[in-house]
Amino acid sequence: MDFHITTANVSDAFKANVAVNPAPGWNLISSNPASFEMTVGGSKGYEVRSQSNEEDKAGGNIFLFKVDVEIDGVGEDKEETEGAFVGYADCANGFDPACVAAMKPVRIRCMPAKRPDGERIVLTFPPGHLLEKIGTTYQAAQSSYKANEIGDKSFWLHGHAASGAVRDRVILAEHNINGCKDEAKYTVVKVNFIEASSTVADNSPQQFEGHQTDFGDPCDPDDPGQALVVFHKDVRNEDFVVQDYDVTLKANIMPVCLAADQLSESWTKVVGPSSGGFNRTDTFEVKYKNAKKSGLYQCTFDLGLSGCAKSGVNLHLPLGGPDV
């Protein structure tokens, strides 16, 4: 008879102290000594003999099991308390390069790996979020895999629907016989829109759809794009000198309870005259201050999640009149 010892939330370096105690009426032949250390994924044989009949023997193996789910390298110490953060990816047009870039690798293992075909790892996950890559094709992951094969599979997490709360999504893996299991939590972060506003802009506020950066050219007479516009006449004094003013930029994030210090977000001006600047760049809401040279200022917001598409905004400041 084989015995399965299961673990939970342990590292690969974990060692268990195991003691073999025969049932009444039986003597231990091996292992010797009866107490020993066993590493995760390890095994140890044992044999016992009946006290009433020396020809009556029994034996088997003892295995120390670990089932592990790991998202984007987030280890056991953080996979339930902090979890992984995954950038939203709209793959309505298929798994194009931008969609694939936002996916996160998922590793699912059973230790020991060399197990009989009847042992399986059963998976539970939000529909459509866990994909298996076969060759160059992505397809929905199955509900279970052989324990001796799952470690070789290429799994990817696809955040196609924003979270409603932090760590509200879970991938669970469980051994179908001994119940050894592990889970990894994650949050799908989405920029709903960027809002640009200013008390001196006639068309304030403007909302720019998240995870996009191309909003056209607001100066194109045939197909004007979108921009928050501040007119020169609204920010100058009687001497035609542009006065100090601010434009507020706010990234509206889902889930709404997510705090800025949980990510590594940043704002950048990518196009525009060398005038003005951010009051800060490391939070969801910032101000672009005192842009006094006329032109189109294009800024982007980056969630700081690898592969996640940036979100942009157009500011036309200050329009009309001489540059100062």
| Same-domain pairing of 172 and 199 | no
Is residue 59 located within the same domain as residue 90? Answer: no
> H/E element holding 35?
strand 35-39
Same domain, 312 and 200: yes
* Same domain flag for 181 and 257: no
Q: Residues 183-241: pLDDT tens digits?
A: 999 999 999 999 999 999 999 999 999 999 999 988 888 888 999 999 999 999 999 89
Residue 161 shares a structural domain with residue 214: no
AA letter at 42: G
Summarised one tens digit per residue, pLDDT across range 230-274 is 999 999 999 989 999 999 999 999 999 999 999 999 999 999 999
Taking only the tens place, the pLDDT of each residue in 111-157 is 999 999 999 999 999 999 999 999 999 999 999 999 999 999 999 99
Q: How far is residue 60's CA from residue 179's CA, in Å, rounded to a whole number?
A: 20
**Total Cβ atoms within 10 A of residue 248:** 17
User: Do the domain assignments include residue 324?
Assistant: no
Both 71 and 138 in one domain: the answer is: yes
Domain membership flag for residue 309: yes
By DSSP bridging, strand 137-140 and strand 285-289 are: unpaired
Q: What is the CATH number of the domain that holds 96?
A: 2.60.40
Residue 12 lies in a domain: yes
Residues 169 and 130: beta-carbon distance below 8 Å: no
**Cis omega (within 30 of 0) for bond into 306:** no
- Residues 90-118 have a mean pLDDT of 92
Closest CA to 182 of 108, 103, 83: 108
Give the dihedral sign, CA 307/152/107/141. Answer: positive
**73-103: buried (b, 16+ CB within 10 Å) or exposed (e) per residue?**
ebebeebeeebbbbbbbbbeeebeeebbebb
Final residue in a domain of this structure, among 189, 214, 245: 189
Last residue of a domain, one of 154, 189, 224: 189
Q: Choose one of 169, 189, 209: the last residue of a domain.
A: 189
Closest CA to 297 of 324, 263, 274, 280: 274
Nearest to 249 by CA among 269, 274, 219: 269
Same domain for 101 and 38: no
Asked whether residue 235 falls in the same domain as residue 163, the answer is no
Q: Which domain holds residue 296?
A: 190-319
What pLDDT does 31 receive?
A: 83
Question: Residue 93 — pLDDT band, cuts 50, 70, 90?
Answer: confident
Verify that 115 and 165 share a domain, yes or no: yes
How many distinct structural domains can be found in the chain? 3
> Is 274 inside any structural domain?
yes
pLDDT band at 323 (very low <50, low <70, confident <90, very high): very low
Judge if 282 and 201 occupy the same domain: yes
